[in-house]
Amino acid sequence: MLIESSIGIDIKKDHLFLLHLKKTFKALIPVEHESFPLPDGKSSEDTNRLIAEIINNFIIKNSIKPDYIFLGLPRHKLLLKYTDLPLAVEENLSATLAYELGKYFPFPVDELYYDFTVINRDEQQNRLNILIAAAKKNEIDSIIQACRRTGIFFSGVAFSSTALVNAFEGGQDETDTSFMIIADIDHDQIEVNLKKNGMLRYSRHITFKNNKNISLEEILINEIEIIKQKADQTGESTDQLKIVLTGPAVSKDFFATEIPERIMKKTGLKIIKFSEITGHLLPPGFETAYGLAKKGSSSLPLNINLAPANLLKKPGRAGWNIFLILLILFFISLSGWAGSSFFQKKMLLSRINAEIITLKPEITKIDKIRKEYTDIEQKLVHINKLKEDNKSALNIINTMAAVIPKDAWVKNITLKHDTVEIEGYATIASELISVLEQSPMFKDVSFKSTIVKDKKGKERFKIGMTLN
DSSP code per residue over 146-175 = HHHTTT---SEEEEHHHHHHHHTSS-STT-
- Confirm if 156 and 163 have CB atoms less than 8 A apart: no
CA 93 – CA 74 distance, rounded (Å): 27
Instruction: Give residue 389's pLDDT.
Output: 47
Contact 233, 213 (CB under 8 A): no
- Mean per-residue pLDDT of the chain: 84
Per-residue pLDDT at 256 exceeds 50: yes
186 Cβ neighbours under 8 A, 6+ residues apart: 12, 13, 247, 248, 249
SS3 state at 436: helix
Q: Taking Cα atoms as reference points, which of 203, 239, 241, 198 lies closest to residue 223?
A: 203
pLDDT in tens, 34-74: 999 998 888 889 999 999 999 999 999 999 888 889 999 99
The secondary element (H helix, E strand) that includes residue 32 is strand 28-37
pLDDT tens, 82-115? 999 898 888 888 888 888 888 888 888 889 999 9
pLDDT at 119 over 60: yes
At 408 the three-state DSSP class reads: coil
pLDDT in tens, 390-445: 446 778 888 888 888 888 888 888 888 788 999 999 988 888 888 888 888 888 88
Strand partners, 80: 133
Distance separating alpha carbons of residues 308 and 115, to the nearest angstrom: 10
Confidence of residue 216 (pLDDT cuts 50, 70, 90): confident
Average pLDDT over residues 368-375: 82
